Amino acid sequence: MGCIRCIATALLFIILSCSQAHCADVLRIGALPAADSLILYAAVEDGAFSSRGLDVRVVPFQSALELGAAMRAGALDGHFGDIINVLRQNESGARQAIIATTSHSAPGARHFGLAVSPACKAQSLAELKGKTCSIGRATIVEFVLDMLLEKGGAAGTLEKVDIRQIPARLQMLLSGRIDSALLPEPLLSLAEERGAHTVMDDGVLDIPLAVIALRVPEGGMDDSFADRADRFRAALAEEAERINASPEAYKEMMKKLKLIAPQAMARYAMMRFRVGVTPLGLPTSEDVNAYAEWMQRFSILKKGCPVIGDIAYQAKP
């Protein structure tokens, strides 16, 4: 009887230990409804995370405001978003580190574009001078618009109109109540399908756009954090290869996840991940400083440019 009791105790200890180890690798990742959040959902669906001992649970959010509140409250272990969100959350006390880049602007790889209303006759950036443009203030959308206008020699020439809800932004554009809008894909393709035209897109820039960040434990980016981050990154790299190999199949997954409207399916050019840039590329200090300096200009960030090692994981070569 004593031996049976000892065996039972040992089994219980093993079960509890395994359960605790498993729980330690449960990661709740908040995600905004952007096209390249697909890689998270697909990696869960295809088992890329689970095969590496990670139980990733994607938690959808409709706004960066709600997602940021959840990060600060400790309800999430990480999130899919952008560098602006990461910098804001770190400054507010929700320390996290970027471990992957899911989109990076490049020629022929459109993520954002300046769309002109079907009711507006402007055919170029110069012809839009003095006209209205809908954005979300203090977001990646306003940042990209400012970078595009600067690149086109038209800084400060558009009248920015803050419209928080992206669906409302799209409807106002299509109805002619707003002359132009800076839209993300695949909404940009949807707007074109409904008569809008694009005068400039982020292909002329060379900046990281969307990223994935994990919460940093109190002890900092220790060996445990590095191990988890490395496994997470390996899963993303595996999934990126799958998506690149079968883009149309994953476009269907986007449709099921409501990351793309059925009307935009034909026009939308499926994302492609670029080796060395996405998803395993990490922002440089120059990238982070570009965002931080823009944020400081609008008093979104108050404590100065952060050290790159404090907000980006230093992955092993």
Does residue 316 lie in a domain region?
no
Alpha-helix residue ranges (DSSP H) falling in the chain: 2-24, 38-45, 64-72, 83-91, 140-151, 166-175, 187-193, 223-245, 247-256, 285-297, 308-311
Does residue 232 lie in a domain region?
yes
Q: Give residue 13's pLDDT.
A: 35
d(CA 15, CA 315): 33
Same structural domain, 121 and 73: no
**Alpha-carbon distances, residue 235 vs 15, 55, 100 (angstroms):** 26, 12, 11
Residue 266 belongs to domain with CATH number = 3.40.190.10
Does residue 317 lie in a domain region?
no
Q: Give residue 7's pLDDT.
A: 34
Same structural domain, 35 and 50: yes
For tokens 């883009």, the residue is 247
As a whole number, mean pLDDT of residues 11-24 equals 41
Same structural domain, 214 and 171: no
Domain of 270, in residue numbers: 2-105+207-311
Sign of CA dihedral 109, 112, 114, 115: positive
Does residue 97 lie in a domain region?
yes
Give me 36's structure tokens.
């390249």
**Contact between residue 203 and residue 109 where contact means Cβ atoms under 8 Å apart:** yes
Binned at pLDDT 50, 70 and 90, residue 17 comes out as: very low
Same structural domain, 212 and 200: no
As a whole number, mean pLDDT of residues 137-151 equals 95
Same structural domain, 213 and 274: yes
- Which amino acid would we find at residue 272? R
Percent of the chain residues past pLDDT 90, beyond the cut: 80
Domain end marker among 177, 204, 231: 204
Same structural domain, 192 and 221: no
Q: How many domains does the chain have?
A: 2
Does residue 284 lie in a domain region?
yes
Please, which residues bridge with residue 213 across strands?
Answer: 79, 98
Same structural domain, 50 and 144: no
Q: Chain centroid to CA 16: how far?
A: 36
Q: What is the pLDDT of residues 291-314, one digit of tens each?
A: 999 999 999 998 888 888 889 998
Give me 216's structure tokens.
């940093």
Q: Give residue 11's pLDDT.
A: 35
Percent of the chain residues past pLDDT 70, beyond the cut: 92
Same structural domain, 280 and 238: yes
Q: How many CA atoms lie within 13 A of 277 on its CB side?
A: 13
Q: Give residue 3's pLDDT.
A: 43
Q: What is the pLDDT of residues 112-133, one digit of tens each?
A: 999 999 999 999 999 999 999 9
**Alpha-carbon distances, residue 81 vs 53, 102, 139, 208, 228 (angstroms):** 24, 9, 11, 11, 19
Using DSSP's 3-state secondary structure scheme, residue 178 falls into coil
As a whole number, mean pLDDT of residues 32-42 equals 94
Domain end marker among 180, 204, 228: 204
d(CA 90, CA 113): 28
Binned at pLDDT 50, 70 and 90, residue 20 comes out as: very low
d(CA 69, CA 59): 13
Does residue 42 lie in a domain region?
yes
Q: Is the pLDDT of residue 141 over 50?
A: yes
Q: Give residue 25's pLDDT.
A: 83
Using DSSP's 3-state secondary structure scheme, residue 214 falls into strand
Q: Is the pLDDT of residue 10 over 70?
A: no
Closest to 291 (Cα-Cα) out of 79, 84, 48 = 84
Same structural domain, 163 and 247: no
CB atoms within 10 A of CB 282: 20
Same structural domain, 167 and 303: no
Which of 13-27, 34-48, 109-123, 177-191 is predicted least confidently?
13-27
Q: Is the pLDDT of residue 317 over 80?
A: no
Domain end marker among 204, 226, 247: 204
- Beta-carbon contacts of 68 under 8 Å, excluding residues fewer than 6 positions away, are 85, 88, 89, 92, 94
Same structural domain, 74 and 97: yes
Q: What is the pLDDT of residues 77-100, one digit of tens each?
A: 999 999 999 999 999 989 999 999
d(CA 259, CA 252): 10
Does residue 231 lie in a domain region?
yes
Does residue 16 lie in a domain region?
yes
Same structural domain, 177 and 131: yes
